Structure 1
Amino acid sequence: MVALIDANARGVWIISATPFADNGDLDLESTDRMVDYYLGCGVDGLTILGIMGENTRLSQEESIRFTARVVKRVAGRVPVVVGVSAPGHRLAGDLTRAAMDLGAGGIMLSPPLGLRTEDQVIGYYDSFVGEIGQAVPIVLQDYPPASQVWMSVATINRVIADHSSIVVFKHEDCPGLRKLTRLRADEAAGLRRRVSVLTANGGLYLMQEMRRGADGCMTGFGVPEMLVEVCRLFHAGDVEAAEDLFDAYLPLVRHEQQPGFGLAVRKELLRRNGVIATARTRAPGPALDATDRAELDTLLARLARRLAEMGRTLPTAAQ
């Protein structure tokens, strides 16, 4: 049975890496292990073919093949959201239809480069939803550093109000805490229906975002067990324990958030954990050198000591 994403989405929706072999081909055996690992961490959903999934470095055929492998391995246990953002409707629409036919739980869609006005953003979503129909659940991605499109709260409200298929708002604007507060305030005032808000940026601002009304995160991190436990503690009402655990990991979270470079760190953590065979990214992607790996060793050693002081152990990465 296909699990669809909806406006009640909460917790951790992990942004999946895309494993590659040493020759740069898709590594589908590592993909199976990675899916098993993410599910074993207790994530609430998977999001594939995002920016950290190197979506722009895959062909359309590879994107569909990777989607098929992930959806088959997940086997309906959690929803799988597929990033379909593309410069034009044809590419995005074709991938949307293929993903949903394969059993995806929804799509993630960011406005494309080149939109300069609020009317253009509204028109883009009007035309795209008109093409694919209202039955496909959509995660509206707001990531200005990548899209170069800045959406006001008023525009976001309008797009959500106009399309019932938009059930999740992925909040990646930075700084964006006040934006998040305004979005929730507008809901409370009855200006539009409620949608799930999941945040990103590697979880860097996760605690503040959840305090301001986020339902969880749709992001990646090399030790996803931490994100899962932090969200569970927060939703159980133990906010201080959630803060304390997050604080212990913060140096590693910060290190992984280096623009352009962080993907190599995340993949190295997955490799050390035996999840993926190599930490390779596709050219011209980043790679760690010996100094980078030693730096990561130091961060992990410090994290292990801090966790020991808290009566905890480092889950599995780099053990």
Structure 2
Amino acid sequence: MPLIDETARGVYIIAATPFTDAGALDLASADRLIESYLAAGVDGVTILGVFGEAPKLSNEESLTFAKRVLARIDGRVPVVVGVSAPGMDVMRDFTKTVMDLGAAGAMVAPLTGLKTDDQIYGYYAQVTAALGSTPIVLQDYPQTTQVTMAPSLINRLFHDFPSLKILKHEETPGLKKITLVRADEAAGNRRRVSILVGNGAMHLPLELHRGVDGANTGFAFAEMLVDVVRLFHAGEKERAEDLYDIYLPLVRYENQPGLGLAIRKEVLRRRGLIGSAKVRSPGPSLDKHDHAELDHLLARLDRAKRERGF
């Protein structure tokens, strides 16, 4: 499988990590979920991200899950593995292992606690040195990391470190940042890089209009993300937005802080793609009111798709 590079485009789905009701890894559900992503037409898969509950996995579990997914996909699409870790040696060793297993790249978020541009720059200088030629997705997610990267710093990082290939943009509000990053490229200051966006696709159509290449996020209906991005890039922008609008109530509901992953996993369970909606502790679970709201939203979604010809 070729490695990721600056031409990455489309939907790189953030895969959930399925667990049994007892909280153990559910690898059979992982197989089923991965096949559903591929059937939906995703262009790539990212595992062990924030919504993959990576911080709740042991090192052994992370490796077990990565091995299973990489073997299941078997080169059909690129697989990016989240490798962020407090220690550089741990990050380097895990990255080497998953790259040897067939991963197409690594995703690295800044270390929590970095405050200044120089600190962040110095951190990625160490990361790129440690990971060598491994292509890297730079994850910009200040809502979780508490690290804010200005557009000028983003541009500097991509200018100075060739192994950084993709910006996973998740700052919100962040539309202006997209414009400023693209403007630096248009001015000829550095190479063009891929920008894939997260935040549960909350702002996806607007981000596409600002010039991003696709999505690197999760949603319970991966096929919606794929179809919206492909329609947009094919020039059918109004139809792409019409389709997105049908799903928007569920997108919004799934983006509730703290509860979103439990909602996404419950929808995946209802669709038969995973066996349990278990979110590892500490994590939320849905009550009867949440389930009733989800019943309502899914019924409206089915009706809206029929009425609008999707």
Structure 1 CA distance for aligned equivalents of residues 168 and 307 of structure 2:
35
Given the alignment of the two structures, is residue 280 of structure 1 paired with residue 278 of structure 2, yes or no? yes
- Cα offset, 1:88, TM superposition: 2.1
- Cα offset, 1:93, TM superposition: 1.8
TM-score between both structures, scaled by the size of structure 1: 0.96
Gaps of 5+ in 2: none
Structure 1 CA distance for aligned equivalents of residues 112 and 87 of structure 2:
10
Tell me the residue number matched to 2:91. 92
Structure 2 CA distance for aligned equivalents of residues 51 and 186 of structure 1:
29
Q: Give the AA of the match of 1:97.
A: K
Tell me the residue number matched to 1:193. 191
Tell me the residue number matched to 1:211. 209
Aligned-partner SS, 2:278: coil
Tell me the residue number matched to 2:105. 106
Structure 2 CA distance for aligned equivalents of residues 38 and 309 of structure 1:
26
Structure 2 CA distance for aligned equivalents of residues 302 and 69 of structure 1:
36
Matches within 5 A, 1:174-253: 174-253=172-251
Tell me the residue number matched to 1:24. 23
Q: Give the AA of the match of 2:2.
A: A
- Cα offset, 1:157, TM superposition: 1.2
Tell me the residue number matched to 1:316. none
Given the alignment of the two structures, is residue 62 of structure 1 paired with residue 47 of structure 2, yes or no? no
Given the alignment of the two structures, is residue 131 of structure 1 paired with residue 130 of structure 2, yes or no? yes
Structure 2 CA distance for aligned equivalents of residues 109 and 210 of structure 1:
23
Aligned-partner SS, 1:255: helix
Structure 2 CA distance for aligned equivalents of residues 5 and 287 of structure 1:
35
Q: Give the AA of the match of 1:258.
A: Q
Structure 1 CA distance for aligned equivalents of residues 275 and 135 of structure 2:
33
Tell me the residue number matched to 2:73. 74
Matches within 5 A, 1:254-265: 254-265=252-263
- Cα offset, 1:94, TM superposition: 2.1
Q: Give the AA of the match of 1:53.
A: G
How many residue pairs were aligned?
310
Tell me the residue number matched to 2:266. 268
Structure 2 CA distance for aligned equivalents of residues 89 and 259 of structure 1:
30
- Cα offset, 1:276, TM superposition: 0.6
TM-score between both structures, scaled by the size of structure 2: 0.98
The answer on whether the counterparts of 1:3 and 1:77 sit within 8 Å (CA) in structure 2 is no
- Cα offset, 1:95, TM superposition: 1.7
- Cα offset, 1:197, TM superposition: 0.2
Superposed CA deviations along residues 166-189 of structure 1, whole A, max 9, x for unmatched, are: 110000010000000000011000
Q: Give the AA of the match of 2:8.
A: A
- Pick from 153, 156, 166 the counterpart of residue 154 of structure 2: 156
Structure 2 CA distance for aligned equivalents of residues 251 and 55 of structure 1:
27
Could you list the structure 1 runs, at least 4 aligned residues long, displaced by more than 6 angstroms after superposition.
Answer: none
Structure 1 CA distance for aligned equivalents of residues 204 and 15 of structure 2:
18
The answer on whether the counterparts of 1:3 and 1:78 sit within 8 Å (CA) in structure 2 is no
- Pick from 145, 148, 153 the counterpart of residue 147 of structure 1: 145
- Alignment RMSD, CA only? 0.8
- Cα offset, 1:303, TM superposition: 1.2
Gaps of 5+ in 1: 313-319
Superposed CA deviations along residues 20-63 of structure 1, whole A, max 9, x for unmatched, are: 01211111111111110100000000000110000110011111
Q: Give the AA of the match of 1:275.
A: L
Q: Give the AA of the match of 1:71.
A: L
Structure 2 CA distance for aligned equivalents of residues 202 and 4 of structure 1:
25
Aligned-partner SS, 1:51: coil
Structure 1 CA distance for aligned equivalents of residues 187 and 95 of structure 2:
33
Tell which deviates more after alignment, 40-49 or 82-91. 82-91
Structure 1 CA distance for aligned equivalents of residues 255 and 131 of structure 2:
34
- Cα offset, 1:3, TM superposition: 3.2
- Pick from 265, 288, 291 the counterpart of residue 290 of structure 1: 288
The answer on whether the counterparts of 1:82 and 1:106 sit within 8 Å (CA) in structure 2 is yes
- Cα offset, 1:251, TM superposition: 0.4
Matches within 5 A, 1:27-42: 27-42=26-41
Superposed CA deviations along residues 155-214 of structure 1, whole A, max 9, x for unmatched, are: 111111111111100000100000000000110001111100000100010000000000
The answer on whether the counterparts of 1:21 and 1:280 sit within 8 Å (CA) in structure 2 is yes
